[in-house]
Amino acid sequence: MTSRINVLLSDQSIPAHWGKSNISFAGDSVTIHLADSPDAARAVQAAARKLTNQGIRDVALAGEGWTEALQWRFASGFGEALEPGTIEWNGAGDQLEAQRDAALWLKSLTHASPEALSPEVLADEVAERLTALAPEKITSRRIVGEALLAAGWVGIHGVGRGSDRPPVMLELDYNPTGDTNAPVSVALVGKGITFDSGGYSIKPSTGMVTMKCDMGGAATVAAALKLAIRRGLDKRVKLYLCCAENLVSGHAYKLGDILHYKNGTSVEIVNTDAEGRLVLADGLIAANEAGAERIIDAATLTGAAMVALGSDYNALFCGDDAVAAEALTAAAKADEGLWRLPLAPIHADKCPSVFADTANSVAQKGGGGGGASNAAGFLSRFAGTPPKGWIHLDLAGSYVGGNGQNHEGATALGLLTVTELLMQA
């Protein structure tokens, strides 16, 4: 179909002759019936998937009942990974279009092939796209390859040294104040593993085929900053993207290696597939060096978070109850699933090593029991104590196979939560 379809909402039950569906058709209009749906938002998103599966790619959200939240739910379910389709909004069009633009950019980055999106390409794309929004307010710099080691960023260098394409740390400074001494209100840290083979702890093919998505954390925080800037963000924010390919070669890091971080922490490598926390550690140290008042990191970090929460929620880790409550409130306002999992001081010691201060994991399948909390505990060694707190988001739901709510690939779950936290900073 190529003609625009009007999509209406109804609080009436669907006529019996339409069967169990909640969608009825009349001419060039479709009606989504919500009377028998216990969760209107999920029903609208599921209806958008059904319409997509019937070949509809051009819609207008018409009539009454279209709240901003329901329109966004429809947009979240509509379209395919490479064919997003077009939507005519029913009110709040500028804001919704900005959100969709950010989400589609996030998805395009995540869906890019590993060959097309090297660490340097990812860093350059983010820097160029964000700088174009506010060139007088943004500066950036890249630290590439061996320069990382000279600067002390041993995690990014160690993970990325096995690839012929060098690892990169991108530091981007958005400073709308014009004051070079203005405090950094928030530091965003994103895991940017553009392809994750697992290294010498190599993944099976079934686990590796989607690993172009392992830069989803970097895409999420970059897109959130983009959206916040468009919304008029007036606080200084620094963005750190920790970009590398985790590959196997004669130069790759190995099990038993010891990394010595700038903050004095030594780390024994017991699993080269637990690489995300190694690069994030550098980003967290950099954020602390910048004196950030709040630090938010985002990463497709552990399968354990996905096992715990599935694809409807991201995992929240935070050592401060008040700060955790702020994050959960932001997620609720954004209508995004976020669930707090345990992070206590004991978790910093859950990856013990005889040869270093800590190991990067536990030498068990999946990192052993409590793997997501153990990974967060590892990161807590590098997070410092920013006065407004540290928030770690394990993006369990950010990349899923096609289901009744989302197309295959990136979901952009977490984008609006991070944006909301930036606007509230």
364-372's contacts with Cβ under 8 Å and 24+ in sequence apart are 366/303, 366/304, 367/271, 367/274, 367/302, 367/304, 370/304, 370/342, 371/302, 371/303, 371/304, 372/301, 372/302, 372/304, 372/305, 372/308, 372/315, 372/317, 372/341
Over the stretch 12-50, which tens digit does the pLDDT of each residue have? 999 888 888 899 999 999 999 999 899 999 999 999 999
Judge whether 161 counts as a catalytic residue.
no
- Tell me what percent of the chain is helix, strand and coil, each rounded to the nearest 5: 40, 20, 40
Q: Are 176 and 55 contained in the same domain?
A: no
Q: Are 279 and 253 contained in the same domain?
A: yes
Which residue from 85, 424, 71 is spatially nearest to 235, judged by alpha carbons?
424
Residue 52's contacts (CB-CB under 8 Å, 6 or more residues apart) are 77, 78, 79, 80, 85, 407
Q: Are 145 and 279 contained in the same domain?
A: yes
Query: Given strand 237-246, what is the order of strands in its sheet?
Result: 138-144, 168-174, 237-246, 186-196, 294-299, 390-394, 314-317, 338-340
Q: Are 294 and 374 contained in the same domain?
A: yes
Q: Are 46 and 130 contained in the same domain?
A: no
Instruction: Among 22, 57, 91, give the residue marking a domain's end.
Output: 91
Residue 419 domain flag = yes
Residue 34 domain flag = yes
Q: What is the pLDDT along the chain (425 residues), one digit of tens a residue?
A: 458 999 999 999 998 888 888 999 999 999 999 998 999 999 999 999 999 999 999 999 999 999 999 999 999 999 999 999 999 999 999 999 999 999 999 999 999 999 999 999 999 999 999 999 999 999 999 999 999 999 999 999 999 999 999 999 999 999 999 999 999 999 999 999 999 999 999 999 999 999 999 999 999 999 999 999 999 999 999 999 999 999 999 999 999 999 999 999 999 999 999 999 999 999 999 999 999 999 999 999 999 999 999 999 999 999 999 999 999 999 999 999 999 999 999 999 999 999 999 999 998 877 788 999 999 999 999 999 999 999 999 998 789 877 899 999 999 999 999 999 999 99
Residue 346 domain flag = yes
Residue 97 domain flag = no
pLDDT number for residue 36: 86
Domain containing 408 equals 104-424
**Cα–Cα distance, 383 to 287 (Å, whole number):** 8
Q: Quote the number of domains for the chain.
A: 2
- Active-site hit among 238, 277, 294, 381: 277
Tokens of 71: 């329109």
Residue 99 domain flag = no
Over the stretch 99-120, which tens digit does the pLDDT of each residue have? 999 999 999 999 999 999 999 9
Instruction: Among 59, 91, 123, give the residue marking a domain's end.
Output: 91
Global pTM reads 0.97
Q: Are 114 and 54 contained in the same domain?
A: no
Residue 15 domain flag = yes
Q: Are 37 and 119 contained in the same domain?
A: no
Q: Are 119 and 36 contained in the same domain?
A: no
Q: Are 334 and 416 contained in the same domain?
A: yes
Q: Using an 8 Å Cβ cutoff, are 268 and 359 in contact?
A: yes
Tokens of 54: 């019937």
Q: Are 15 and 116 contained in the same domain?
A: no
Instruction: Among 61, 91, 121, give the residue marking a domain's end.
Output: 91
Residue 96 domain flag = no
Residue 98 domain flag = no
Q: Are 82 and 228 contained in the same domain?
A: no
Judge whether 203 counts as a catalytic residue.
yes
- Active-site hit among 4, 129, 203, 388: 203
Q: Using an 8 Å Cβ cutoff, are 22 and 15 in contact?
A: no
Q: Are 79 and 228 contained in the same domain?
A: no
Q: What is the CATH number of the domain that holds 159?
A: 3.40.630.10
